[in-house]
Chain A
Amino acid sequence: MTVDFTGQLAVEGVSKWFRTSRATVHALDDVTLTVQPGEFLCLVGPSGCGKSTLLDIIAGLAVPDSGKVSADGQPVEGPGRHRLVMFQESALFPWLDVFGNVMFGLKREQSLTAEQKRQVAEQHLELVGLTKFKKAYTHELSGGMKQRVALARSLAPDPRVLLMDEPFAALDALTRERLYGDLQEIWRTKRKTIVLVTHNVREAVCLADRVILMSPHPGRIREEFRVDLPRPRDINSTMLAEMAQEITAALKTHDPELGRE
């Protein structure tokens, strides 16, 4: 496996407002952030801190009102195949079977032959352990399996950056723990840059090299924590719990509403 060190992201002075007829919400205020190639970064914060908006802007699905985003030195002007997104709902296509879903993003790869595309899709199904469910329809899968398929679908076109918007939030705890293990393993072998949005501090500590803490009204970056715990990490380990506690405490000092609880 060749490890190419691309997948660098730079967010500079990004601000974003949402205007509706009733109110104007200041979603992001002067956010600056750099993500190194191959880094696993988690954006953490309470609802309304703009973390999902920031992810959308990095993905090119939303446009900032000021500031700029670049990926590998190129300005981000729209969605691109090097930065694929995985959402909280798996959003699998029900008219395709599991294999068809994983093939979706590969279909337009002109550099690969039909046979190579099939191989790549097979490899990614194997990576998420769903080879046996290749021909299954999406409604036949459990929530965890759906997210695995969504992960395979996002990874198959070999993006440089994987953007994940609360991908585990809708899953039960046991499934989630298994997926933490799988994702760490995949990240170790594939060395993608990953930006993951979550409101679960433990999840962030379990996965990230660096945890960025955000606070709402307006959405700002408050603090960042480097996580140097050895990998693979177990979500139930005490070291991890201590670090999570420290970050949760910081979270509360930045958000007066949480602090009162």
Chain B
Amino acid sequence: MKRALVVIAFFAGLVLLWKIATMVMGWSPLLLPPPEAVGRYIWEALLDGTLISASIVTVKRLLIGYFIGVVIGMGLGLMVSTSDLFESTVGALALGLQTLPSVCWVPLALLWFGQTEGAMLFVVIMGTVGSVIIATSNGTRSIPPIYARVARTMGSEGFDKWTRVILPAALPFLVTGMKQGWAFAWRSLMAAEVYVTILTGFGLGHLLEYGRELSAMDQVIGVMIVIVVIGLVTDKGLFAPLERFMHRRWGTGAAVS
């Protein structure tokens, strides 16, 4: 309860600072609108449905692309972890591609797929795959060998060993990889939506870009806030329970709190 109050006070303080800045600094409201203008935009866009339908379009693209990216990334990651050949080929490729900002995929995707959903999906998948591959292979390679020895003596080999020992033991790493993949997927999609105008769906990135074209700063900031909130909510809703589960079992997470 006390913690919630602190959190509310923190954000209220930020908004208050913002309000004061717009009042005393004399900036043009075109560059920095006061918080109530942004609030009004969000409220109206929620009521007339633009924000909701844009969020649904965006989140749907994100979930589909992310899911495909995680499946491919984990599959390749497991292959990379089991063979030195894959490690020095696919693993190296993933490492290299991970350093490539995902927005760099957009021109290529546009030329390949045109202004279609396919281009969006491609960019999201490419943004997700690299970090998931690396986290998965690092994770399975960091498992203490004693677990595998115990499994072997208990007659657990092959598929059984993978599903009952290796994957659960690598869970903390897998979750880290999935979380990182999620952040990258989110970034890639926003880059793609800002750059690519397509007719099949009007996402948050487009709303942001149109805000710029109309010089509607209240819309730009409003959409940015919505993007942050969606990111935060998925983190708390999707990954926090998984992380709590792991901390409870592994007894981790207590060292710094």
The verdict on A89 contacting B146 (CB below 8 Å), with A79-B152, A81-B155, A139-B250 known, is yes
| CA distance in complex: A81, B150 (Å) | 11
**Size of B's binding interface in residues, CB under 8 A:** 20
Query: Is B169 interfacial (CB-CB < 8 Å)?
Result: yes
Query: Is B88 interfacial (CB-CB < 8 Å)?
Result: no
Query: Hey, which chain B residues are within 8 Å of A96, CB to CB?
Result: 168
The verdict on A93 contacting B155 (CB below 8 Å), with A87-B150, A137-B248, A139-B251 known, is no
| CA distance in complex: A94, B248 (Å) | 10
On whether the beta carbons of B154 and A84 are closer than 8 Å, the reply is yes
Query: Is B57 interfacial (CB-CB < 8 Å)?
Result: no
| Shortest distance between the CB of A24 and any CB in chain B (Å) | 23
Contact of A85 among B153, B160, B169 (CB under 8 A): B153
On whether the beta carbons of A61 and B153 are closer than 8 Å, the reply is yes
On whether the beta carbons of A61 and B149 are closer than 8 Å, the reply is yes
Q: Could you give, for residues 64-107 of chain A, a 1 whenever the CB lies within 8 Å of some chain B CB and a 0 otherwise? A: 00000000000000011101110101010111110000001101
Q: Could you give, for residues 211-246 of chain A, a 1 whenever the CB lies within 8 Å of some chain B CB and a 0 otherwise? A: 000000000000000000000000000000000000
On whether the beta carbons of B154 and A137 are closer than 8 Å, the reply is no
Interface SS majority for chain A: loop
Query: Is A185 interfacial (CB-CB < 8 Å)?
Result: no
On whether the beta carbons of A95 and B249 are closer than 8 Å, the reply is yes
Query: Hey, which chain B residues are within 8 Å of A94, CB to CB?
Result: 249-251
Q: A163 — nearest CB in chain B belongs to which residue?
A: B153
On whether the beta carbons of A95 and B152 are closer than 8 Å, the reply is no
On whether the beta carbons of B249 and A87 are closer than 8 Å, the reply is no
| CA distance in complex: A89, B160 (Å) | 23
On whether the beta carbons of A93 and B248 are closer than 8 Å, the reply is no
| Shortest distance between the CB of B59 and any CB in chain A (Å) | 30
Query: Is B18 interfacial (CB-CB < 8 Å)?
Result: no
Q: Could you give, for residues 41-81 of chain A, a 1 whenever the CB lies within 8 Å of some chain B CB and a 0 otherwise? A: 00000000000000000011100000000000000000111
Q: Which residues in window 31-49 of A have CB below 8 A to B?
A: none
Query: Is B50 interfacial (CB-CB < 8 Å)?
Result: no
Q: B248 — nearest CB in chain A belongs to which residue?
A: A137
On whether the beta carbons of B164 and A107 are closer than 8 Å, the reply is yes
Which of B155, B168, B251 has the most C-beta atoms of chain A within 10 angstroms of its own C-beta?
B155
Q: Could you write out 23 A-B pairs with CB less than 8 Å apart?
A: A59-B153, A60-B153, A61-B152, A84-B153, A84-B154, A87-B146, A87-B150, A91-B146, A91-B149, A91-B150, A93-B165, A95-B250, A104-B154, A104-B156, A104-B164, A105-B155, A108-B155, A108-B156, A108-B160, A137-B248, A137-B249, A139-B250, A157-B154
Residues of B with Cβ closer than 8 Å to A? 144, 146-147, 149-150, 152-156, 160, 164-165, 168-169, 171, 248-251
